[in-house]
Chain A
Amino acid sequence: MKFNRRFVFAAAAVALMASGGPAMADLKIGVDAGPYPPFASPDPSGKWVGWEIEFMDALCAELKEKCEVTPTAWEGIIPALNGKQIDMIVASMTITNERKKSINFSNFYYDTPTALIGNKDGDKDITPAHLSGKTVGVQASTVHQKYVDKYFAPAGATIKTYQTQDEANQDLAAGRLDYAQADAAALDAFLKTDQGSSCCEMKGMVPEDAEILGGGVGVGLRQEDTALLERVNAAIAAVAAAGTFKGITGKYPDLNGVIITP
């Protein structure tokens, strides 16, 4: 059965070469694979679209680089950056001191307050004491998870973590959660959908905690890529000066009023 062994070797070799490909000069931009509408999600034609994707396009135009959207699992996005599978993180990642231990951040490119949404019952009390005995959902490895662990869990709330924000929203709509906490922008967009508006309402913004909730969303870069960091910061400033942010936000009326840009 020579057929078997040779065939196996040949097939493997061809396939490996085919999937190897040339070393690319494109910048690979990591985005959250579990889509994060309206910031980044794939449309029916397979292209990734959203506020953040348009920002990324503007950024790359300024940097004069070709960028490739690389969906990556959120939990593995920092290891992927440090492991050189992606070159930048543009995934609504909040700048925090904790994360700065492993990666560098650019200046912020948008900021949004943190909000809680919950069932439609008119009850707007969101103090930790009131949340005792209730279930709060957050996306794993986010600043929101740290926040609820610090403020709501000790007060007696049950915390459930999800791999994507959408799964948390789903469970809230399904009634498996009492509250969900995340960026106001993303939650607001969810509340404007059919599903969101029928099940849930905005409860309010949580009290600030700069250490945990950080200072805005920035581009994540490897600590050794200092030259790239400077170029990215310059590019962000240029994009801001050109008024591009207003143009992008204008296309996403859901986000009006909930996000701040440079």
Chain B
Amino acid sequence: MPLAATVTIFTILSFGDQGYGDEIARSALMTVQISVLAYLVGFLIGLGGAVGKLTGSRVTRGILDIYTTVFRAIPELVLIILLYYSGNAALIAILGMIGVTGVQINGLLAAIVVLGIVQGAYQTEVIRAAIQAIPLGQIEAAKAYGMSPVLRFRRITLPAMLPFAIPGLANLFLNATKDSALISIVGFTELSQATKQAGVFVKYIQGNPLYLLVFYGIAALVYLAISMTSNQFFAYLERRMRRGQARPA
């Protein structure tokens, strides 16, 4: 590649006013923020859902079954678009009925909640399977000691199920990261959208469609960095969780 073009690429990718480096970094941060928060929302929903499925009444179990079945049977893209538009409209309608008008729904929050609800369905299943893998003796012993359900959950169930859940949870975080790219379809400027915008503008100025390729490549590399970091993190988490446990044969 001619020297001039290489220099141009360096300028374009640099931080500061001349380059898109800082926009890309900022949108990468946005992507991580959305993914992590949506994942946490999903995790909380998953905890509640798993407990509900295992210990709840028939009505609770029925509702949760419908939730997990339906939300795991429909493509994430369809769910995200549907929940995003209808959720906003429904919230406005509900708030309007109470008499609260003029409320602006923070778009970012809406995206996180939507992604979190989608994640929640998958998280429920992973956590439920993990809880069911806990040797029954531990739960029975806790009950024999007279531990209240909350204490039992906090001290026994939750810590015991985490090692079983980690592989599934790690996978779900990768899904959350990748689903955050789908948010760009409803217009969010996260990483894939930001690089697309940058690529279009640079291509327009420089006149060379190769720049679009460069920017998509950069987006891919940043996502790769995020997923590899998360893999390392979850591997570390698994090692910590399994401390004191016999290593699997």
Which residues from chain A sit less than 8 Å from chain B, CB to CB?
1-2, 4-5, 8, 11-12, 15-16, 19-21, 23-24, 28, 33-35, 37, 41-46, 70-73, 76-77, 79-80, 82-85, 163-164, 166, 170, 173-174, 193-195
CB distance from B204 to the nearest CB of A (A): 5
Bound state CA distance, A142 and B110, in angstroms? Answer: 27
Q: Write the B18-51 contact mask toward A (1 if CB under 8 angstroms, else 0).
A: 1110110010000001001100110110000000
Q: How large is the interface on B (under 10, 10 to 19, 20 to 34, 35 or more residues)?
A: 35 or more
The answer for the CA separation of A49 and B236 in the assembled complex, in Å, is 45
Of B92, B187, B198, which is in contact with the most chain A CB atoms at under 10 Å from its CB?
B187
B200 contacts A15, CB within 8 Å?
A: no
- A-B contact list, 8 entries, CB within 8 Å: A16-B37, A46-B22, A76-B84, A77-B187, A163-B185, A166-B204, A170-B212, A195-B208
Residues of A contacting B104 with CB < 8 Å? 23-24, 28, 84-85
Pairwise interchain contact B92-A84, C-beta atoms closer than 8 A: yes
> Which single residue of chain B is at the shortest CB-CB distance from A80?
B187
Bound complex: CA of A2 vs CA of B26, how far in Å? 32
Determine if B10 is an interface residue (Cβ-Cβ < 8 Å): no
| Nearest CB in chain A: distance from B181 CB, A | 13
Sort A-B residue pairs by CB-CB distance and give the 3 closest, nearest first: A194-B207, A73-B187, A83-B88
B187's closest neighbor in chain A, by CB? Answer: A73
CB neighbours (8 Å) of B41 from chain A are 12
| CB-based contact B23/A46 at 8 Å | yes
Q: Enumerate chain B residues within 8 angstroms of A80, measured Cβ to Cβ.
A: 187
Task: Choose from B16, B89, B154, B200 the contact partner of A166 (Cβ within 8 Å).
Answer: B200
Let me know if B189 is at the binding interface, CB within 8 A.
yes
Is B105 among interface residues, defined by CB-CB distance under 8 A?
yes
Report if B217 contacts A (CB, 8 A): no
B197 at the interface (CB under 8 A from A): yes
Q: In this assembly, does B85 line the interface, its C-beta being within 8 Å of a C-beta of chain A?
A: yes
User: Cβ of A1 and Cβ of B159 under 8 Å apart?
Assistant: yes
Q: How far is the CA of A163 from the CA of B43 in the complex (A)?
A: 33
**Which of B85, B112, B207 is within 8 Å of A76, CB to CB?**
B85
On whether A16 and B189 interact (CB within 8 A), knowing A24-B104, A85-B104, A166-B200, the answer reads no
Given A1-B162, A23-B104, the answer on whether A42 and B207 have CB atoms closer than 8 Å is no
Partner of B201, one of A11, A16, A28, A42: A42
CA distance A172 to B19 in the complex (A): 28
Tell me the bound Cα distance from A45 to B12 in angstroms: 10
Chain B residues with CB under 8 Å of A83's CB are 85, 88-89, 92, 105
From known contacts A4-B162, A12-B40, infer whether A72 and B106 are also in contact, taking CB-CB under 8 Å: no
CA distance A139 to B112 in the complex (A): 28
Q: How far is the CA of A166 from the CA of B196 in the complex (A)?
A: 10
Q: Are B106 and A21 in contact (CB under 8 A)?
A: yes
- Expressed in whole angstroms, the Cα–Cα distance for A42 and B19 within the complex equals 12
* B19 nearest CB neighbor, chain A only: A44
Name B106's contact: one of A1, A20, A163 (CB within 8 Å).
A20
A72 touches B201 (CB 8 A): no
> Provided the pairs A4-B162, A21-B106 are in contact, do residues A71 and B207 lie with their beta carbons within 8 angstroms?
no
Given contacts A41-B204, A85-B107, A195-B209, contact A33 B193 (CB under 8 A): yes
Q: How far is the CA of A195 from the CA of B185 in the complex (A)?
A: 26
CB-CB under 8 A from A194, the residues of chain B are 206-208
Which residue on A lies nearest to B203, using beta carbons? Answer: A195
Q: How far is the CA of A45 from the CA of B201 in the complex (A)?
A: 12
- Please give, as numbers and ranges, the residues of chain A lying within 8 Å of B33 by CB-CB distance: 15, 19
Q: What would 17 more interface pairs be, CB under 8 Å, given A44-B201, A82-B89?
A: A12-B41, A16-B37, A19-B106, A23-B104, A34-B197, A41-B204, A43-B201, A44-B198, A45-B16, A71-B197, A72-B187, A73-B186, A76-B85, A79-B88, A85-B88, A85-B104, A85-B110
CA distance A12 to B108 in the complex (A): 14
> Chain A nearest CB: distance from B82 CB in Å?
11
Name A173's closest neighbour in chain B (CB-CB).
Answer: B209
Is B158 an interface residue when CB atoms closer than 8 A count as contact? yes
Complex Cα distance A46/B19, Å? 9
